Amino acid sequence: RRNLRALLEGSEIMESHKHCGKVQDPYSLRCMPQVHGATRDALRFASEVVTREINSVTDNPTVFLGEAGGPADLVSGGNFHGQPVALALDLAAIAVAELANISERRVEQLVNPMLSSGLTPFLAPESGLHSGFMIAQVAAAALVSENKILAHPASVDSIPSSAGREDHVSMGSIAAYKLATVVENTANALAIELICACAGIDQRRPLRSTSAVEAAHTSVRQVVPELVEDRPLYRDFAAVREIVRRGALIQAVERVTGPLA
C-alpha cells in the first residue's frame, strides 16, 4: 500500500476520475495491496526455507566423528528429503502465478471499452481498422491459463522406487521446473500490462500522472514506441520484459521515489 501511495499521489489522471460516478473500482485495482502483498509474503517464506535448507546438512549417512580418536557414528537418516523445498517452491509458483492472474485482469480493464472509462477499444488509435492490443490481452490470458495448470503442486505426488525403499519422494525438481516456467510466463504477462498501461497514459494526454509513473512511462517508451498502427507486438513484449528483468524500470522509478519497500 505504501508503494502504491508513493507512486500515485498527486496524479492528474487519477484526480480527473475522482468524481467519475463509479461506486467502486474492480478488485484487480482496489485489492492490489492485498494480492501483491500476499505474494510477497509467500515468496519471503519460500526464500527463508530455501536459504535454510541449502545451508543444512543433507548427507546420508551423516558421519559424527568420535571424540579423542574414538569410533565414528554413521547415522542413516532422512535429512536429504526435499519436502521442505518442494512445498516452498510449489507455494512460490502459486504466488507468482497470481501476479500474472491479477495483471491480466487489469489489462482487460484497459482494452475493454465497457470498462476503460473513455479509452479507445483495445487501445487502438483507429478503432475498427486496427486490432490495437486485443491480441496482447489474448496472449496474457493464455499465459495465465498455462500458469494455472503449472501451479498444481508437484509435492502432492510421489511414485515409489528403489524396490520400495524410496516410497515417498518430494518431486521437488519438478516443482522447481514448473516454478521457472511460471516466472517466465509472469514476466511476459507483466510486460504486456506495462505496454498497455503506457498506451492508456498516452490517451489521457494532456493530463499527466505522477513523476514516478511518468518515469516508468519514459523507461518503456525508450524501448517501445507508441502504437500508431498495428504491428507484431512480440518484440515489444520482449523489450519491456528485459528492462523489468535487469532492473532498469524500477531504477528509473526509484530515482524519483527513493527506495520502495
Q: pLDDT tens string for the chain (261 positions)?
A: 899 999 999 999 999 988 888 889 999 999 999 999 999 999 999 999 999 999 998 888 888 888 877 888 888 889 899 999 999 999 999 999 999 999 999 999 999 999 999 999 999 988 888 999 999 999 999 999 999 999 999 999 999 999 999 999 999 999 999 999 999 999 999 999 999 999 999 999 999 999 999 999 999 999 999 999 999 999 999 999 999 999 999 999 999 999 998
Cα–Cα distance, 100 to 197 (Å, whole number)? 15
| Cα–Cα distances in angstroms (integers) from residue 77 to residues 43, 57, 81, 98, 158, in the given order | 29, 11, 9, 37, 19
pTM passes above 0.75: yes
pLDDT number for residue 59? 86
Tell me if 21 sits within 8 A of 41, measured CB to CB.
no
Tell me if 151 sits within 8 A of 183, measured CB to CB.
no
Cα–Cα distance, 226 to 196 (Å, whole number)? 10
Q: What is the DSSP letter of 129?
A: T
pLDDT number for residue 46? 98
The 3-class secondary structure across 11-72, one letter per residue, is CHHHHHCCCCCCCCCCHHHHCHHHHHHHHHHHHHHHHHHHHHHHCCCCCCCEEECCHHHCCC
pLDDT number for residue 18? 84
Cell of 194: 506495462
Nearest CA-CA partner of 111 in 130, 83, 92 = 130
Cell 475493454, residue located = 112
